[in-house]
Structure 1
Amino acid sequence: MTDDGKVIDWLMQGDPAIRWQVMRDLFDAPEADWQAERARVETHGWGARLLACQDSDGLWAGGAFAPADFDWSTIQAEGQPWTATTFALTQLRDFGLDPGSERAAATVDLVGRNAKWEEGGQPFWQGEVEECINGRTVADGAYFGVDVAPIVARLVDEVQPDGGWNCERCNGSVKSSFASTINVLEGLLEFERATGGTAASRAARRSGEDYLLARGLYRQLGTGALADDTFLKLAYPLRWRYDVLRALDHFRASGLWDGADADPRLRDAITHLRLKRREDGTWAADWVLRGRTWFEMEPGPGQPSRWLTLRALRVLRWWDESAAEP
């Protein structure tokens, strides 16, 4: 047995980006209180550090998807870099930077005027060609108040026959991938929160969610075998990658938005999440993505992770309160 109170106290010793979400999601603090803590993201801790890395033109590392100085021939040795604009915006969304702040508004404007996708030179808020990238662009844009409806319409048209998405569609793929699908689903949900969505975007979200649910979040559809062993290994931040906790956190968010009970097809993934809990009540990262970052937020594999613990606890709380089956 673990003492959740001690775990929450430990979480509250972390960064403002963690604390405000703990206050909102784990002990139902008054909105005025958690919003006051959330406002500190811009001026304290990780949020302030990441904003301090922004260039005067609004970009990070001089690029939309990759740093301007990155040599792609070194990716096998270095790993993919995570310091460019798209990943910084997603991280600020995760931190909870107030989208109504002057700094957020200025960033959105500068990125819109100055950032161009390396793939085809498109303006940043028009999106790119890959579904993974466009899903995150929709999520970030919708969160920060950008009109991303044209990108959403494209994503709706790009649903694969099996219900999800795959960023290799442009190279001929006709089957969905877990990673592409979760990136798009997060974007479509953020779009619904911001605008209510459209009938087509809501149907597309349900289609993508059914794709994951039919596979229990981590299994092959036909055989039930594990689709990828990394899906059961936890990490944060995942950037474009997929694991069961990321998927469960999405289903928690979509369930709360829809006012729906938790789907029983999540049960196996929930069981796995419970088994990953350490004796001290925390969750630890199993691995860490390689590649450039502005700074590290977590102590590394095998060590208690505040990000993973926050997300796991709020998923389990939601499940225990809303699961359709006992």
Structure 2
Amino acid sequence: MAEADEAIDWLLGLDPSLQWQVMRDLLDAPPLAWRPIRAKIETEGWGARLLSHQDEDGQWAGGAFSPKDFDWSEWKIVGQPWTATSYALTQLRDFGLDPASESARRTVDLVGRNARWEEGEQPFWQGEVEECINGRTLADGAYFGADVTSIAERLLEGTQPDGGWNCERCEGSVRSSFASTINVLEGLLEYETVMGGSEAIRAARGRGEAFLLERGLFRRLATGEAADPAFLTPLYPHRWRYDILRALDYFRAASQRFGTPPDARLAEAIDILRSKRDERGMWLLEWQTPGRVWFHMDHGPGSPSPWITFKALRVLRWWDLHAVSN
């Protein structure tokens, strides 16, 4: 489609962190073509810019989850801050910073030695108590080569009776949440991809996937209504938040990793995602999370979102390639 070509050309003219993934995932370029582009993340564009804000001790903003000496009243007035170590690492993973790069190896070592969670002063790579945080930390650690086995084991123990996870489990919740579940699923998938996984991890992922699929990725099981209208609006950076694009991209990744076909229960979410494409073949950023950031990678709500567009194109390409079996 001409619209897809226009969108791909636009993405290829942006940052190296997008260029290499577009080449790999949308154009089927061989590694020899995209590896030199990926290597630029460390020294050019958004990746280099984020690394430039890193503290000497390996952290960002002096904290694991929140900036050092953060005034928590700011959260209510301005919004949650996104500048500390946890969110920086997740962003670098999304960029595709090579785990073997000097910056990545140095960061894993320094974060392991210096970062402590504000909740209980645990070493960073041992994780926190909330499933959302632990899911992302598991994904980041597995991707960058840290030892996060203890986090994986803890997440397996924290599965809810309905199959997913909830950050409020430590406060007595026995029901899963969409956001907690997608954070943990992404973490388990990355850990399984890198470490080889286990029967227990595969079973847990299966239960978590069923939790989302039984709800069509966005509906309440009891009423069939949308659990949250925001779930239907793709967001990037998604931070800890859930939406259908994030879930669809997870199912794409799992399908391609294990050679399984897409589940037919994803079809409604696919149709909603497709309907949000504009006449140029792009997806707009419809809203943005408030709070401190190091920098933005778009021009704000109402403008085309590079990352949403890329991820949506990647999901639809995967889905359409398997259309016969849907």
Q: TM-score range by the shorter chain?
A: over 0.9
CA deviation digits over 1:84-120, x for unaligned, max 9? 0000000000000000112111100000000000000
Aligned to 1:222: 222
TM-score by length of 1: 0.98
Aligned to 1:277: 277
TM-score by length of 2: 0.98
Structure-to-structure mapping, 1:87-236, within 5 angstroms: 87-236=87-236
- TM superposition shift of 1:294: 0.4
Aligned to 1:316: 316
Superposed structure 1 runs of 4+ greater than 6 Å apart: none
For 1:121 and 1:314, how far apart are their aligned partners in 2? 39
For 1:106 and 1:56, how far apart are their aligned partners in 2? 11
Aligned to 1:35: 35
Q: Verify the 8 A CA contact 2:112 2:124 in the aligned structure 1.
A: yes
Q: Does 1:54 pair with 2:54?
A: yes
| Same amino acid, percent of matched pairs | 65
Q: Verify the 8 A CA contact 1:264 1:323 in the aligned structure 2.
A: no
Q: What secondary structure is seen at the aligned counterpart in 2 of 1:247?
A: helix
Q: Verify the 8 A CA contact 1:179 1:241 in the aligned structure 2.
A: yes
For 2:307 and 2:48, how far apart are their aligned partners in 1? 18
Q: Verify the 8 A CA contact 1:261 1:323 in the aligned structure 2.
A: no
Aligned to 2:252: 252
Q: Verify the 8 A CA contact 2:3 2:279 in the aligned structure 1.
A: no
Aligned to 1:288: 288
CA deviation digits over 1:28-84, x for unaligned, max 9? 011111111111111100000000000100000000000003100121111000000
Unaligned runs of 5+ in 2: none
AA partner of residue 236 (structure 2): Y
- TM superposition shift of 1:2: 4.5
- TM superposition shift of 1:215: 0.4
- TM superposition shift of 1:324: 6.0
For 1:116 and 1:125, how far apart are their aligned partners in 2? 9
CA deviation digits over 1:283-326, x for unaligned, max 9? 01110000000011111111111101100001000001124635
Q: Verify the 8 A CA contact 1:262 1:324 in the aligned structure 2.
A: no
For 2:85 and 2:288, how far apart are their aligned partners in 1? 20
Aligned to 2:23: 23
Q: Verify the 8 A CA contact 1:166 1:180 in the aligned structure 2.
A: yes
AA partner of residue 103 (structure 1): S
Q: What secondary structure is seen at the aligned counterpart in 2 of 1:11?
A: helix
AA partner of residue 100 (structure 2): G
For 2:243 and 2:4, how far apart are their aligned partners in 1? 24
For 1:141 and 1:86, how far apart are their aligned partners in 2? 10
For 1:114 and 1:85, how far apart are their aligned partners in 2? 11
AA partner of residue 243 (structure 1): D
Q: What secondary structure is seen at the aligned counterpart in 1 of 2:89?
A: helix
Aligned to 1:79: 79
For 1:290 and 1:3, how far apart are their aligned partners in 2? 31
**Cα-Cα RMSD:** 1.0
The count of aligned residue pairs is 326
Q: Verify the 8 A CA contact 1:261 1:324 in the aligned structure 2.
A: no
Aligned to 1:6: 6
For 1:324 and 1:123, how far apart are their aligned partners in 2? 48
For 1:93 and 1:285, how far apart are their aligned partners in 2? 21
For 1:198 and 1:66, how far apart are their aligned partners in 2? 33
- TM superposition shift of 1:21: 0.6
For 1:167 and 1:6, how far apart are their aligned partners in 2? 41
- TM superposition shift of 1:3: 2.6
- TM superposition shift of 1:252: 0.3
Q: Verify the 8 A CA contact 2:135 2:185 in the aligned structure 1.
A: yes
For 1:106 and 1:32, how far apart are their aligned partners in 2? 25
